[in-house]
């Protein structure tokens, strides 16, 4: 894969410096006891966060947080906030657009009456982690700020554009046949930054998984597969997406 290179604006240069400062605290290995054997029912509560935007008014959005109980396969907590986005989207800097209202949702959860009862063991973000031009996407950025295990889950490889797209799709199709199959996503030096992961036999397109913070790639993959129960996407993120989209529709 090759990186898309471009010149930064003055604001983006400030953001790059902030990413580099925070990245010093990034941990890319397992830090929790339950991660040693995910198949042993040690993983139960998983958070999913997603932000949806109004198609007609891009500055209007809704951010949602869901806590999902894997044991009972049910949502045990959900919250949402409507937001007026003041920061325009800039590729590679999604965290700076969404960080304030994501942190507000996190704070509201921990300050709630059930914050301790259902504290997530890992947080899933609709966005990338290490699979990012500066190895510090949304999942890593928020993970460092809240100092919790986080995983990036995205619908596309985003920054890493294959030099030969036709060959890339061919390689994906050959590698991703059954649930659990993966295809390594690498940088120009061959470093593995994440994987294209097939989560459902009957679905052609994979999702892209990368380390966020305080978790290894192997554990991140296992967590995502545990959370993909009936559908292609992990249940916590899928429910967060549904809640935020429905809220926007109802508000209009």
pLDDT for res 17: 93
pLDDT for res 41: 81
Burial string for 25-55 (b: 16+ CB within 10 Å, else e) reads: ebbbebeeebbeebeeeebebbbbbbbbbbe
The residues of the chain scoring below 50 in pLDDT are 1-3
- Distance (Å, whole) CA 160 – CA 164: 12
pLDDT for res 6: 67
CA distances for 62 relative to 16, 59, 75, 104, 191, angstroms: 26, 10, 18, 12, 35
Predicted structure pTM score: 0.94
The Cβ-side half-sphere exposure at 183, using a 13 Å CA radius, reads: 20
pLDDT for res 5: 61
* Structural domains in the chain, sorted by start: 19-158+210-251 (3.30.2170.10)
């Amino acid at each position: 894969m090759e990186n898309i290179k471009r010149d930064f604006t003055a604001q983006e240069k400030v953001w790059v410096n902030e990413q580099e400062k925070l990245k010093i605290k990034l941990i890319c290995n397992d830090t929790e006891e339950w991660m040693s054997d995910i198949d042993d029912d040690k993983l139960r509560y998983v958070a999913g966060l997603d932000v949806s935007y109004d198609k007609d008014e891009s500055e209007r959005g809704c951010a949602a947080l869901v806590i999902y109980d894997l044991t009972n396969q049910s949502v045990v907590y959900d919250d949402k906030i409507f937001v007026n986005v003041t920061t325009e989207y800039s590729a590679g800097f999604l965290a700076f657009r969404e960080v304030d209202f994501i942190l507000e949702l996190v704070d509201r959860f921990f300050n709630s009456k059930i914050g301790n009862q259902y504290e997530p063991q890992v947080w899933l973000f609709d966005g990338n982690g290490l699979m990012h031009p500066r190895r510090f996407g949304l999942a890593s950025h928020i993970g460092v700020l809240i100092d919790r295990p986080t995983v990036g889950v995205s619908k596309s490889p985003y920054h890493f554009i294959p030099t030969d797209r036709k060959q890339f799709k061919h390689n994906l199709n050959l590698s991703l046949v059954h649930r659990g199959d993966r295809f390594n996503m690498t940088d120009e030096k061959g470093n593995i930054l994440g994987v294209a992961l097939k989560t459902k036999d009957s679905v052609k397109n994979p999702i892209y998984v990368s380390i966020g913070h305080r978790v290894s790639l192997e554990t991140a993959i296992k967590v995502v597969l545990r959370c993909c129960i009936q559908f292609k996407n992990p249940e916590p993120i899928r429910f967060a997406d549904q809640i935020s989209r429905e809220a926007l529709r109802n508000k209009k």
